[in-house]
Structure 1
Amino acid sequence: MKRLINTDTSVKPPNHKSCGAEDSSIKDLDKSFIEEDIISELVSGILVLTDQKKIVYSNLYGRRVLKQLNSVVDESVQVPQEICQICQSLMEVRNLFPNQCWLTQFDIFIENLAILHIRARWLTVDKLDQPYLLLLIEDRQTTINKIVSQEAEQYGLTPREREVWLLHRRGRTYKQIALELEITPNTVKKHMKSIHSKRKKVMFSSSVG
């Protein structure tokens, strides 16, 4: 089962960039321009679509997401329903407020508890005769894993504490953590108490230092 949840819609300053394209075709865009435009965004996937919801560019991870959502090999044939809904939402906002640039954010919850965080905005490029929709896709699970790995080292967590902390960071309840790790809820509480104690020591040392 997949769920699409809108998390935020906000005004974003207009973003005009020049890519040096010779004509108004997206095919002539230097793809490295699109990559460079979002490097600072720290995202995994990139999708660029027309206002007709046709995909004109996608990186490797973006194509994987399309296949995961839609179970199709050729993403140009059919755009997943969730992506269509995101694009439609952004277009409706633009129609209501044509003089403002908007950023809208969605979370897609899919099977095996994967969470995809998608930010959508209009991509306006000099010398192109139409704006395109830019979707930036972040794999929340991968992001959380990286954060927990850093925190485990910073706080000096044991391997078991790291497992508990990872599941806690993923939003699991104590009962869910206990069930997944095959331990008792009381044991989970003890681990969490130890983790918070270690965190406080590190934070206190940092503030004093």
Structure 2
Amino acid sequence: MNTPAIQPDFRSLYEISSNFSVTGQEGSKKNLEARFLAELHQEFIDGILVFAERGELIYSNKNACTILGRLHQDDPGGALVPEEIVHICQSLTQSRVQFPHQNWLVELDIVTQDGAILHIRARWLNTNLIERPCLLLVLEDRQQAIASIVMEEAHQYGLTSREREVWVLHRNDLTYKQIAVELGITPHTVKKHMKNIHSKQKDYTVDISDFATSYPC
């Protein structure tokens, strides 16, 4: 068996291929399921790309376009499939040919020109929604993911605007001195804010624990 050629597909990433459509009552059910999953995936923080065996892009969500725009600054809308993504697809296709009884999972980080870290997970996916196996790539903008988590934590803990700024930098692994320089305050003030944050974090954890005890499953 020859290795299928993976060619970059320069269509819009929003386009979903009709090559895998099916007919009849069962087909309508599968198409409905596919549309439901497509709508659901649009809400994911992670970017999602799905490629057919020979490299045709058959699905993506909006966040994939945004994340791929970070990878290539000259294509901010993420309208093109970057060569890096094509290379990952080629590698997985080759591994499937050489090791047909194994299912490989590839994980790697790409550091972009502006210092963003894009984490990519890729593997072969078998689903009853389409007839042939396909390649699933999950893209994560690490900074964006951390920012989303931190904003949720800030809301849960009830942090002030200044505490939120300190917490964001702390969660990005900055030292107290670096946070102080970034915000134009003293390290002592940073330490004071962190003490308040940890106190609110502890209170939130206690409240959650008390709630779970009061309302057991």
TM-score range, shorter chain: 0.5 to 0.7
Residue type of the partner of 1:83?
A: I
Q: Compute the RMSD of aligned alpha carbons.
A: 3.5
In the other structure, the counterpart of 1:158 is 160
What's the CA shift for 1:148? Answer: 2.0
Distance 1:69 1:154, change over 3 A: closer
In the other structure, the counterpart of 2:48 is 46
Q: Identify the structure with the greater strand proportion.
A: 1
Structure with bigger gyration radius: 2
Q: Is the 8 A contact 2:167 2:194 kept in 1?
A: yes
Q: Secondary structure at the match of 2:126?
A: strand
Runs of 4+ that moved beyond 6 A:
none
Out of 179-188 and 63-72, give the one that drifted further: 63-72
Out of 44-53 and 33-42, give the one that drifted further: 33-42
In the other structure, the counterpart of 1:141 is 143
TM-score (norm 1): 0.66
In the other structure, the counterpart of 1:21 is 22
Q: Secondary structure at the match of 2:159?
A: coil
Distance 1:113 1:74, change over 3 A: closer
Q: Is the 8 A contact 1:148 1:165 kept in 2?
A: yes
> Tell me, which stretches of 5 or more residues in structure 1 are unaligned?
1-18, 23-28
Q: Is the 8 A contact 1:43 1:136 kept in 2?
A: no
Alpha-carbon separation, structure 2, partners of 1:176 and 1:92? 45
In the other structure, the counterpart of 2:27 is none
Q: Is the 8 A contact 2:67 2:140 kept in 1?
A: no
In the other structure, the counterpart of 1:105 is 107
Q: Is the 8 A contact 2:45 2:145 kept in 1?
A: no
* Alignment match of 2:60 (pick from 58, 61, 73): 58
Distance 1:61 1:32, change over 3 A: farther
Percentage identity across paired residues of the two chains: 48
In the other structure, the counterpart of 2:196 is 194
Residue type of the partner of 1:49?
A: F
Q: Is the 8 A contact 2:108 2:119 kept in 1?
A: yes
Residue type of the partner of 2:146?
A: I
In the other structure, the counterpart of 1:5 is none
Distance 1:97 1:151, change over 3 A: same
Q: Secondary structure at the match of 1:99?
A: coil
* Alignment match of 1:91 (pick from 87, 90, 93): 93
Alpha-carbon separation, structure 2, partners of 1:111 and 1:74? 15
The count of corresponding residues between Structure 1 and Structure 2 is 183
In the other structure, the counterpart of 1:185 is 187
Alpha-carbon separation, structure 1, partners of 2:118 and 2:33? 24
If asked which structure has higher relative contact order (CA below 8 Å, sep 6+), I would say 1
Residue type of the partner of 2:48?
A: I
Distance 1:205 1:185, change over 3 A: same
Q: Secondary structure at the match of 1:21?
A: coil
TM-score (norm 2): 0.64
